[in-house]
Amino acid sequence: MSKPIRVMSTLGVLSVLRGVLPRLAGLPTDMQFDPTARLLARIAAGERADVAILTDAGIEALLTDGTLAAGTRRDLALSYVGLAVKAGAARPAIGTVEELRATLLAAPSLAYSRAGASGIFFAELIERLGIAEAVNAKATVIPQGFTAELAARGVVSLAIQQVSELLAIEGVDIVGKLPPEANTCAVFSAAIFADADGRSAALLDAIAEALTPEALQAGGLDPAD
């Protein structure tokens, strides 16, 4: 049996990759999921794989220092930050910045992540909205993983994360994306490690082809082009 092709991937594409991997016949893979920041730390410490799927900034940094092979970058998807509640719970208004601000202040509890791009952005957002102290007083800030797991169990009333990450967890309803003026777009890109398995290019091509607009939409993502 051939050795699996190792992929280090951001959590942001977990739900959509789970859906397309069964179609990648003949290309066994070993998927390692973590927030981009943690993956970059692992790579900086010397860990290697065959394919990396990270934010575009992470990919560019690794291309610049030669860790990833020049000319292999592929932009796969666009991702936005959203909000979820426990399945069946009332869906708060978040259509405007003022509605979002009021919802965050009124919520008895909420969760966001410390290491992920969405959590870093959200921490900056509540500072910009002038509500950081009030929100953080009732927030559960997870070191990594899925905030929606806390909402699904009823531990918190609101979960904030990339929409694609919220969709990875059963037992929650997606309220929607944060309003455009209070959101950020992450580009998820992929590239091949400089010393990768020779089959890596074929796997990356197969993943890119499998990530159709329909597959991306089902996973809470938008096409990158």
Mean of pLDDT over the chain: 93
Total number of residues shown for the chain: 225
Closest CA to 152 of 136, 135, 174, 137: 174
pLDDT beyond 90 at 29 = no
Mean pLDDT of 175-179: 97
Mean pLDDT of 133-140: 98
- pLDDT value at residue 27: 74
Alpha carbon distances (Å) from 113 to 38, 64, 98, 123, 219: 12, 28, 23, 9, 19
- Exposed, middle or buried: residue 108 (CB in 10 Å: 0-12, 13-18, 19+)? exposed
Q: ∠171-95-88 over CA atoms, to 5°?
A: 20
- Of residues 25 and 46, the one with the higher pLDDT is 46
Which pLDDT belongs to residue 198?
87
Tell the residue number behind the tokens 């993983």, with chain if given. Answer: 145
pTM of the predicted model, to two decimals?
Answer: 0.85
Give me the pLDDT at residue 28, please. 80
Residue 23: band (very low, low, confident or very high) from pLDDT cuts 50, 70, 90: low
- For residue 137, pLDDT beyond 60: yes
Please, what are the domains in the chain? 5-78+186-223 (3.40.190.10), 79-182 (3.40.190.10)
Q: Where are the alpha helices (DSSP H) in 13-113?
A: 14-20, 36-44, 56-64, 97-106
pLDDT tens, residue by residue, 138-171: 999 999 889 999 999 999 999 999 999 999 899 9
Reported as a single tens digit per residue, the pLDDT across 90-121 is 999 999 999 999 999 999 999 999 877 889 99
Can you give the pLDDT at residue 1?
54
SS3 102: helix
- What digits encode the pLDDT tens for the residues 73-96? 999 999 999 999 999 999 999 999
Calpha distance 151→174 (Å, rounded)? 11
Task: Decide if 113 contacts 83 (C-beta within 8 A).
Answer: no
Q: Which two tokens stand for residue 8?
A: 């280090």
pLDDT > 90 in the chain, percent: 74
- Do 5 and 206 touch, CB atoms closer than 8 A? no
17: helix, strand or coil? helix
Between 38 and 225, residue with greater pLDDT: 38
